[in-house]
Amino acid sequence: MDLRYFKYFISTNNSFYTKPDTPNRESALYISNIPNNYKTIRENHWIHVINKEHKLPMQGWKIHISTTIDSAEKTLEIVSNVLFDYKISFKYVKSLWELSIKNSKYSNRSAAGKFITIFPPNEQVFLNLLEILSSLLDTLPRGPYILTDKRWYESNVYFRYGAFLSMYYYENNKKVFAIQSPSGDLVEDSRSPHYSIPKFITEPAPIREMDNKLENEIAEPTPLDDIEVIHAIHYSNGGGVYLALDKLDKKVILKEGRPNIGLDSLGIDAFTRIKNEAMILKKLEGTRYPVKIYDFFKAWEHNFILEEYIEGTSLRTWLATKYPFYTNETNKEYLKTVLKILNQLIDALTEIHNQGIGIGDLQPSNIIITSDENIRLIDFETASFIDDSVPSGLKTFGFTGGPNMTRKQADWFALLRISRYLFLPIGPVQDISSKILEAHDKYIENYFGIEAIKIINKIQKICSQVQANPAKDLLNVEHNHIKEMSLNEVKMLLQNNIINNLFVDERVIPGDIRQYELE
Percent of the chain with pLDDT over 70: 91
**Given this model, what pLDDT does residue 397 score?**
86
The 3-state DSSP class for residue 301 equals coil
- Compute the average pLDDT of residues 300-307: 96
- Write down all domains in the chain, each with its CATH number in brackets: 31-216 (3.30.2430), 223-308 (3.30.200.20), 313-479 (1.10.510.10), 484-517 (no CATH)
Q: What is the C-alpha separation between 436 and 94, in angstroms, rounded? A: 42
The count of other CB atoms within 10 Å of the CB of residue 240 is 17
Average of per-residue pLDDT across 150-168: 97
Of the pLDDT bands very low, low, confident and very high (cuts 50, 70, 90), residue 9 is low
Secondary structure tally for the chain: helices H, strands E: 12, 20
Q: Whole-angstrom Cα distance, residue 102 to residue 115?
A: 9
Q: Model confidence over 227-237: pLDDT tens digits? A: 999 999 999 99
Question: 3-class SS at 499?
Answer: helix
Mean pLDDT of 388-402: 88
Is the pLDDT assigned to residue 1 strictly greater than 60?
no
Residue of 486, 234, 499, 245 whose CA lies nearest to 381: 234
Supply the pLDDT for residue 519. Answer: 45
pLDDT (0 to 100) of residue 382: 94
Long-range contacts of 33-42 (CB under 8 A, 24+ apart): 33/80, 33/81, 33/84, 34/80, 34/84, 35/84, 37/87, 38/84, 42/94
> 10 Å Cβ neighbour count for 403?
9
The pLDDT tens digits of the residues spanning 471-491 come to 887 665 555 555 678 899 999
- Per-residue pLDDT, 394: 87
Beta bridge pairs of residue 367 = 377
Q: Report how far residue 332's alpha carbon sits from residue 242's, in angstroms, rounded to the nearest whole number.
A: 37
SS (H, E, C) 410-479: HHHHHHHHHHHHHHCCCCCHHHCCHHHHHHHHHHHHHHHCHHHHHHHHHHHHHHHHHCCCCCCCCCCCCH
| pLDDT tens sequence across 413-446 | 999 999 999 999 998 888 888 888 998 999 999 9
Sequence letter at residue 447: Y
Let me know the angle formed at the C-alpha of 233 by 232 and 239, rounded to the nearest 5 degrees.
Answer: 70
Least confident of 21-35, 190-204, 294-308: 21-35
pTM (predicted TM-score): 0.88
Residue type, 296: F
Alpha helix (H) ranges present in 270-424?
270-283, 315-322, 331-354, 407-423
Does the pLDDT of residue 518 top 70, yes or no?
A: no
Mean local confidence (pLDDT), 216-231: 93
User: In the prediction, which pLDDT does 136 show?
Assistant: 98
Name the strand (E) or helix (H) holding 153: none
Would you state the pLDDT for residue 25?
45
Confidence bin at 7 (pLDDT 50/70/90): low
- Nearest residue to 163 (alpha-carbon basis) of 149, 151, 177: 177
One DSSP character per residue, 316-344 reads: HHHHHHHS-SS-STTHHHHHHHHHHHHHH
pLDDT band at 293 (very low <50, low <70, confident <90, very high): very high
Kindly report the average pLDDT of the chain as a whole number. 91
Higher-pLDDT residue of 259, 16: 259
> CA–CA separation, 418 vs 398, rounded Å?
9
Backbone angles phi, psi at 153, to 5 degrees: 50, -130
| Phi, then psi, of 158 in degrees rounded to 5 | -125, 165
| Mean pLDDT, residues 232-261 | 96
Percent of the chain at pLDDT above 90?
77
pLDDT for 435: 82
Give, rounded to a whole angstrom, the gap between the first and last alpha carbons of the chain: 22
On the question of pLDDT at 62 being above 90, the answer is yes
26 versus 177: the higher-pLDDT residue is 177
- Angle, to 10 degrees, between the axis of helix 450-466 and the axis of helix 331-354? 20
Does residue 26 have a pLDDT over 50? yes
pLDDT at 218: 80
In three-state secondary structure terms, 295 is: strand
SS (H, E, C) 94-145: CEHHHHHHHCECCCCCCCCCCCEEEECCCHHHHHHHHHHHHHHCCCCCCCCC
pLDDT-based confidence at residue 226 (cuts at 50, 70, 90): very high
Mean pLDDT of 126-132: 98
